[in-house]
Chain A
């Protein structure tokens, strides 16, 4: 902004200001009503959601699945999707630091005198992109399931086949969750992305093919030869029933 633009703004502003109303009581009234709304929502959340205390801290655990507070989900998701180890420090501290510096210096690189949103297309595009990215990452982060369990209801086809089949399905699900499959494979919301997605594996591979792959896999997948017969059968049965669709 040059001196002329600064002067134009200050003049314009002083006129607008002189045409305004005093802070007290006009603005204060609005602020106070807003404060009531804020307190009402805090109190309502406190009453309905409470302040549940989790299990006592246990650093010896090997089964706990840590998750951050929801407003850090976006960072959590960034850390999950940035796979190459060489980029880990960049994702962990580089990106947030750069974002904060960009935010910090905003008035020093965006120096145009234009204030109307519709005439600042770059700023608005950047803002909407940032908001959309944060919203998307937050959503993805919130839905990232633990690799130690599968949050999936039995599909209707399995339920329709009767209780015995459902039991097999449930036990197969259990075996998959406990056998470390989800470290690399994704099933529904759970699991990693190092290996192929198994959410619809039953539609792509026949039962025998799945069983063969388990015993004689392509590297780096380990062979599941140590698994006992019953468990392996349940596992294969479960995977064969995964046809995608709703999960």
Chain B
């Protein structure tokens, strides 16, 4: 009868000994106790979420040999996005998206708030850096042929991310509400409008009316800090999942030298 019982669920199987039990000393030291606490907390979470498998899958997957510094451009873009997100949230704490007060709020935040100009500068130049990184990352992917089978879908998602990045910089450009931003936006909206048939309606939608009006700025603000970043975060998630699932490409000129010397370096 005993062997008919189903096996013990994985989460309940005995765990390997922790540092406080395994060090051979009679009494565990403070350090071991602390480490044990950490381990049991993670165990508690893992027993309920089973996240460790996924984490292991992502973190300890192998990256083909021959990867170089150009492969860091993707994560650098992601990092620039994170930096933009955090500085953006801080700026949002001071910003007032109303046509009459926006400029004043940006002036206040730039000139009066502690580190205000620094944070706004980080957001402003971060956008430039992010655009450059995204383009470089795309260039690397192109030159290495990394958009080919089986990674076509990831390329498509990447192009969507590029478009979203450019839209982010377009909508964000209006927000400081100085001369530059107003006229750049006027031209940008007009460019939108030159699309036949849909153009005129698209413009009215973007501006919330036939002229630059009371709620235009709020509309751009909502797009800039809710709609587009949300879409980008989702797309970045899909992009990363596919990277982990399909693996990073090896440099195209690298040939696999099959078992002859059956190398096993590094791991």
A-side residues, CB < 8 A to B, are 1, 5-6, 9-10, 12-13, 15-24, 26-28, 30-31, 33-35, 37-39, 41-43, 45-47, 49-51, 53-59, 61, 64, 66-72, 88-89, 92-93, 97, 100, 103-104, 106-108, 110-117, 120, 123-124, 127, 131
Query: Which residue in A22, A42, A59 is a CB contact (below 8 Å) of B80?
Result: A42
The reply to whether A64 and B247 form a contact with Cβ atoms under 8 Å apart is no
The stretch that binds A, out of B24-32, B38-46, B126-134, B222-230, is B126-134
In the complex with contacts A23-B59, A56-B178, A69-B173, A51-B65 CB distance below 8 A: no
The 5 tightest CB contacts between A and B, nearest first, are: A46-B121, A115-B145, A66-B183, A54-B178, A115-B252
Q: B195: which A residues are within 8 A, CB to CB?
A: 89, 93, 97
Distance A19 CA – B257 CA, assembled complex (angstroms): 10
In the complex with contacts A51-B110, A51-B117, A22-B69 CB distance below 8 A: no
- Specify the chain A residue showing the minimal Cβ separation from B120: A51
B11 touches A (CB below 8 Å): no
B267 touches A (CB below 8 Å): yes
The reply to whether A107 and B179 form a contact with Cβ atoms under 8 Å apart is no
How does the 8 Å CB contact mask read for B244-261 relative to A, with 1 for contact and 0 for none?
A: 000111101111101000
Q: A56: which B residues are within 8 A, CB to CB?
A: 103, 177-179
- Specify the chain A residue showing the minimal Cβ separation from B104: A56
- Known interface pairs A38-B133, A71-B131, A107-B147; 17 further A-B residue pairs with C-beta atoms within 8 A, sorted by A's residue number: A20-B65, A21-B63, A24-B59, A42-B122, A42-B125, A45-B121, A49-B121, A53-B106, A56-B178, A57-B181, A59-B182, A89-B194, A100-B159, A103-B162, A107-B149, A107-B156, A115-B249
Q: A15: which B residues are within 8 A, CB to CB?
A: 256, 258
The reply to whether A113 and B133 form a contact with Cβ atoms under 8 Å apart is no
Query: Which residue in B63, B143, B152, B155 is a CB contact (below 8 Å) of A23?
Result: B63
Distance A124 CA – B107 CA, assembled complex (angstroms): 47
The reply to whether B121 and A34 form a contact with Cβ atoms under 8 Å apart is no
Query: Which residue in B67, B103, B150, B184 is a CB contact (below 8 Å) of A27?
Result: B67
The reply to whether B179 and A55 form a contact with Cβ atoms under 8 Å apart is yes
The reply to whether B178 and A53 form a contact with Cβ atoms under 8 Å apart is yes
The reply to whether A19 and B103 form a contact with Cβ atoms under 8 Å apart is no
- Specify the chain A residue showing the minimal Cβ separation from B117: A51
Distance A10 CA – B178 CA, assembled complex (angstroms): 53
Query: Which residue in A23, A66, A107, A131 is a CB contact (below 8 Å) of B184?
Result: A66
Distance to closest chain B CB from A119 (angstroms): 9
The reply to whether A107 and B67 form a contact with Cβ atoms under 8 Å apart is no
The reply to whether B103 and A57 form a contact with Cβ atoms under 8 Å apart is yes
The A interface is mostly helix, strand or loop, or mixed, namely helix
The reply to whether A50 and B75 form a contact with Cβ atoms under 8 Å apart is no
The reply to whether A68 and B63 form a contact with Cβ atoms under 8 Å apart is no
B72 touches A (CB below 8 Å): yes
- Mind listing 29 A-B residue pairs with CB under 8 Å? A20-B64, A20-B65, A20-B67, A20-B266, A21-B62, A22-B61, A22-B62, A23-B59, A28-B59, A33-B72, A35-B76, A37-B76, A38-B129, A42-B80, A42-B122, A50-B121, A51-B120, A54-B181, A56-B177, A56-B178, A56-B179, A58-B179, A66-B179, A66-B184, A66-B187, A68-B187, A69-B169, A93-B194, A106-B142
B-side residues, CB < 8 A to A, are 58-67, 69, 71-73, 75-76, 79-80, 83, 103, 106-107, 110, 117-118, 120-126, 128-129, 131-133, 139, 142-152, 155-156, 159, 162-163, 169, 173, 176-184, 186-187, 190-192, 194-196, 199, 212, 247-250, 252-256, 258, 263-267
Among A21, A46, A54, A108: residue with most chain B CB under 10 A: A46
Q: A54: which B residues are within 8 A, CB to CB?
A: 176, 178-181
Distance to closest chain A CB from B67 (angstroms): 7
The B interface is mostly helix, strand or loop, or mixed, namely helix
In the complex with contacts A30-B69, A59-B212, A106-B155 CB distance below 8 A: yes
Distance A202 CA – B32 CA, assembled complex (angstroms): 87
The reply to whether B178 and A17 form a contact with Cβ atoms under 8 Å apart is no
The reply to whether A42 and B126 form a contact with Cβ atoms under 8 Å apart is yes
- Specify the chain A residue showing the minimal Cβ separation from B149: A1
Q: B76: which A residues are within 8 A, CB to CB?
A: 31, 34-35, 37-38
Q: A13: which B residues are within 8 A, CB to CB?
A: 64, 247, 249-250
Distance A163 CA – B126 CA, assembled complex (angstroms): 47
Q: B61: which A residues are within 8 A, CB to CB?
A: 22-23
The reply to whether B75 and A31 form a contact with Cβ atoms under 8 Å apart is yes
Q: A39: which B residues are within 8 A, CB to CB?
A: 79, 83
Distance to closest chain A CB from B259 (angstroms): 9
